[in-house]
Amino acid sequence: MNEMIIEQVAIAALTPYGQNPRKYGPAEVEKFAAAIREFGFRVPVLALRDGRLIDGHFRLAAARAAGM
């Protein structure tokens, strides 16, 4: 049985999935980054143990833009 483990990791340790079908532009990322700066990072991303991102590509891009 697989167990979900919740832990904090450095953003630099996460690798976006290259075939992510969702696209967003710099203006959208910056708008979300401003919200992260104001309200914090509320919803975590989901990644495999090796750091490959499964869910949260937009949140990750915005967190990086916010300087996290």
Read off the pLDDT of residues 5-64 as tens digits, 9 standing for 90 and up.
Answer: 888 899 999 999 888 888 889 999 999 999 999 998 888 899 998 999 999 999 999 999
Is 6 contained in some domain?
A: no
Is 31 contained in some domain?
A: yes
Block residue for tokens 């509320």? 42
Please tell me the total count of domains within the chain.
Answer: 1
Is 58 contained in some domain?
A: yes
Residue-wise pLDDT tens digits, 48-68: 989 999 999 999 999 999 988
Is 43 contained in some domain?
A: yes
Is 1 contained in some domain?
A: no
Cβ-based neighbours of 14, under 8 Å, separated by 6 or more: 45, 47, 51, 53, 60
Amino acid at 35: A
Is 61 contained in some domain?
A: yes
Structure tokens of 1? 């049985």
Is 4 contained in some domain?
A: no
Residue 42: give the domain boundaries.
12-65
